[in-house]
Amino acid sequence: MKKNFRISNHFREQLKQEIQSWQTDGIINQEQLATISQKYQLDRLSRERKNYLLFAIYVIGAALIGAGVISFVAAHWDKIHPVPKIVLIAGCMFTCHILGFYLWKISGKSPRLGHALIVLGTLIFGANIGLLAQIFHIKENFYNGLFAWTIGAIIMAYALESLPNAVTAIIISFIGFCWWIGDNPHAFCYYPIVTAAIFLPFAYLRRSVLTFIFSLLALGVSIMVCAIIDAEELWAFSLATAGIGLLFFAWGLLSERTDGFKFFAVPAMVIATILTAMIAYISSFKEIARESNFDRIGNWMWTIPVTACYIIATILWVSVFKSMLSNRRLRWMAISILVSATLVFLELVVRALWPSSDRIYNFYFYIVIASNLACLVLCIGLIASSFFAENRGLFWAGILFAALIIITRFFEYETGLLLKAAVFTACGIGLILAGVDFENYLKKRRLINE
């Protein structure tokens, strides 16, 4: 297989099953079957599955051992002299790292066990930071220890190309960020910048989808959390979320055009779609729109990362716009995300910049209308894209999101039981008919392709 491309194991498993029938039907001969098997390394599938399972067992076992060692030391901590304490905790960490490195990189006799020991060493390193702080009575902020732990984990990740260490670093750093933002609610937050600068390069260098997903989540959620904590208003959170949705979807479209990183496209677009749908849905509630106070904002540090998101998103959308319009499979989905997020952005910005007066006391009504329209556009985009992409997941996501909006509005607003019964019945019938019609469409497409 070419190293530049990532072929999923699911595809390889399906291919392994299909080529046997191709040979039986005379479509390919024995030589061609051997060539395909060699190209996609199909003979290694069973061994790879076993290795993944074994590595997962090793990592879980290492985590349990780490928890056991920490608990044992903590239970007898007061009875141990400081020097043996330091020797014990440092010895455990170095033993795990050295033995793990030998088994993984030097001898190669048991690379997965060696990798698990490296992860165990990283976990013990985090415990060491806390235990050393206890020994020397260092009373600093807890999040500083977590950030120090993150530095050690990400160094090991880069040095040994270790995916578990990278994921551990992202999780620990985000926990540290949550502690930091609680103590510094109105300070400028560097965490999103650091996340993009440190974790995303590892994801691209290792072509790790899992690290990419965790990095995007840490980057996006941190900006959203900064916005709502600094501004102390929900509309700031909505504005940040819409910008992140625009940024991530354009990021996905850009990845779709790049062969080497094409497998990053779907995770970025899925996260963007979820965020855009979530914020459009939340903004569509009349009570939430009515209680948003646009005149009470006193802190504006959150606008710096949010503005950066919108600027970068605009640049990316401009660069991918032409190719997006020519892509039948993604065109309607991309347009719906662009329109939905823009509607949320405009309704909030116009209201925030509009001067306060009694004339616009009921401006929240227009926010509700725009948010419901954003939800509707997103539903249409999901369903339309499902037909072009022939994707059941997109179709049912659009249908169920539409059903959620209708049911929510009928429970939110006072309506007669008879009208509710009629609407719910119509929705149920429409859902069934839509599902049957979509399945018939897929069946016809398959017949045409055959």
Tell how far CA 241 is from the center of its chain.
13
Contact between 125 and 95 under an 8 Å Cβ cutoff? The reply is no
357, 441, 427: which is closest to 399 by C-alpha? Answer: 427
- Average pLDDT in the 420-431 region? 75
Cα–Cα distance for residue pair 405/368, rounded to 1 Å:
12
Contact between 323 and 257 under an 8 Å Cβ cutoff? The reply is yes
Mean pLDDT of the chain: 82
Give percent of the chain above pLDDT 90: 32
- Average pLDDT in the 26-46 region? 69
Q: If residue 387 lies in a helix (H) or strand (E), which one and from where to where?
A: helix 364-389
First-to-final CA distance of the chain: 28
- State pLDDT tens for residues 251-281: 999 999 888 888 899 999 999 999 999 999 9
Output the CA torsion sign for 324, 327, 331, 334.
negative
167, 170, 123, 173: which is closest to 144 by C-alpha? Answer: 173
pLDDT-derived band at 165 (thresholds 50, 70, 90) equals: very high
DSSP letter (8 states) at residue 108 = -
pLDDT of 2 reads 40
pLDDT of 90 reads 82
For the record, the structure tokens of 78 come out as: 């007061």
pLDDT-derived band at 170 (thresholds 50, 70, 90) equals: very high
For the record, the structure tokens of 22 come out as: 């191709």
Residues contacting 272, CB < 8 A, separation 6+:
244, 245, 246, 247, 248, 249, 251, 252, 337
- State pLDDT tens for residues 229-245: 988 888 889 999 999 99
Amino acid code (one letter) for 71: S
For the record, the structure tokens of 308 come out as: 């950066």
Point out the least confidently predicted range of 21-35, 89-103, 165-179, 192-206: 21-35
DSSP letter (8 states) at residue 78 = G
Amino acid code (one letter) for 269: M
pLDDT of 45 reads 55
Point out the least confidently predicted range of 98-102, 150-154, 301-305, 359-363: 359-363
Length of the chain: 450
Cα–Cα distance for residue pair 111/100, rounded to 1 Å:
8
In this predicted structure, the answer to whether residue 5 has a pLDDT above a threshold of 60 is no
Please tell me whether residue 356 adopts helix, strand or coil conformation.
coil
For the record, the structure tokens of 436 come out as: 């049957």
